[in-house]
Amino acid sequence: MDITGKQLELVNGRIKALIEAGSFYGKKLREAGISSVSTPEEFRRLPFSDKKDLREAYPLGLMSVPEERIVRIHSSSGTTGVPVIIPYTAKDVDDWAEMFKRCYETAGITAKDRIQITPGYGLWTAGIGFQYGAEKLGAMAIPMGPGNTEKQLQFMQDMGSTVICSTSSYALLLAEEIQKRGIRDNIKLRKGVIGSERWGPKMRETISNGLGIQLYDIYGLTEIYGPGIGISCDENDGIHYWDDYIYLEIVDPSTGEVLPDGQWGEVVITTLLKEGAPLIRYRTHDLSRIIPGKCRCGRCYPRIDTVTGRTDDMMKIKGVNVFPAQIEEILRDFPEVSSEYQIRISHLDGKDTMRLYVETNGTVDFVDLSKRIASTVKSRIGFTPLVKVVENGVLPRSEKKTARVIDERYD
């Protein structure tokens, strides 16, 4: 989806602020002699920013307004030790709450709801994002924070919470505890806003049935405000994101080239309005695709697919980038195979080979099925895998997608 004229205008405002502030990106632009962009092509030539740049700016190098305008910082930890600090102006905080309010509204949540918030409060953006959005909406926030399941369940019943905000694993735990205690009849929950983790359709169904609620996927990352920059709708067909606040591209993770709508790649985000720490073409390392066409719900906000992993999951086979999510998508078109699969990549006789194991029941012609899957992979991704069909129940079960890919090339 090309960047619009209106979005370009906003980007130019951010470029100006970054150059004036002289932060890492401002310096990059100055070195490249760029002071504005006027076409989608020019925009696509802007340099990327990455988490490494943000770490190097520690502690306050990202600050792009005079300090008296900063009202808060948040931080994402990361695994390497040096945290990333994101400064927010009052307007940034308000914009974030506005986006979050829109998320709640998209999920059909109203001022009459009582929203129990279980993500953590503190340096990171989770709990407080859910909180400000709920207040902006006019709903009643119940700021529990994480853990203490006993108290969570007590409040859930006594306060008559109608919405639960949590990670998928905590929602699953709550569903199990509620069932164990036989208190389902005392629970008034009707919706769940679930963020921050990958989860499969099976887990989704268990939570949804266990709590008797409708679930929505919320998307976001601390570097770009926090959770709340997008959410799934009742159609449960991808995540609407707010293109009046962010511009989103999908790029090939190895070449950085922008990919056409529909193709899987890395999510790259540009903030259009952020003041405290604007980011241009920030590489999230999240893996998704833009879903072409309009959503059945009628909303005009564009959609990305559920984030199915990190770009680190990418496999390069015979020079072609492949993601587990692409294989899954193809397998979904074959109703005769189960949801389990395994990918093994090896290097034989100087060539990369992908073996794809799928399961089906005994009534299906294995040879014919394997040929049909192989030719679909060839036509959609560009190489032919060796497809091995096995009986249902033979493959190991795992909730984690990455465990399904075994790369034997570097053993």
Give the interface with Zn ion as residue ranges (CB under 5 A): 233, 235, 295, 297, 299
Residue 227 CA: distances (Å) to CA of 4, 167, 309: 24, 12, 17
Strands 309-310 and 282-288 come out as antiparallel
Given the complex with Zn ion, which of 106 and 311 has the nearer CB atom?
A: 106
Write down the least CB distance from residue 219 to Zn ion, Å.
14
Given the complex with Zn ion, which of 233 and 290 has the nearer CB atom?
A: 233
Given the complex with Zn ion, which of 235 and 333 has the nearer CB atom?
A: 235
- The residue whose two tokens read 């997008």 is 230
Helix, strand, or coil (residue 121): coil
Write down the least CB distance from residue 298 to Zn ion, Å.
7
Write down the least CB distance from residue 290 to Zn ion, Å.
14
Helix (H) or strand (E) holding 70: strand 70-76
Strands 191-195 and 84-89 come out as unpaired
Strands 226-232 and 214-221 come out as antiparallel
Q: How many CB atoms lie within 10 A of CB 393?
A: 10
Write down the least CB distance from residue 263 to Zn ion, Å.
21
Write down the least CB distance from residue 301 to Zn ion, Å.
8
Residue type, 33: G
Distance in angstroms (rounded) separating the CA atoms of residues 35 and 335: 53
Helix, strand, or coil (residue 192): strand
Given the complex with Zn ion, which of 250 and 295 has the nearer CB atom?
A: 295
Burial of 135 (0-12, 13-18, 19+ CB in 10 A): middle
Given the complex with Zn ion, which of 105 and 235 has the nearer CB atom?
A: 235
Radius of gyration of the chain (CA): 23
Structure tokens at 359: 């399961």
Given the complex with Zn ion, which of 14 and 289 has the nearer CB atom?
A: 289
Write down the least CB distance from residue 107 to Zn ion, Å.
11
Given the complex with Zn ion, which of 11 and 233 has the nearer CB atom?
A: 233
Residue type, 253: P
Write down the least CB distance from residue 375 to Zn ion, Å.
33
Query: Are the C-beta atoms of 268 and 53 separated by less than 8 Å?
Result: no
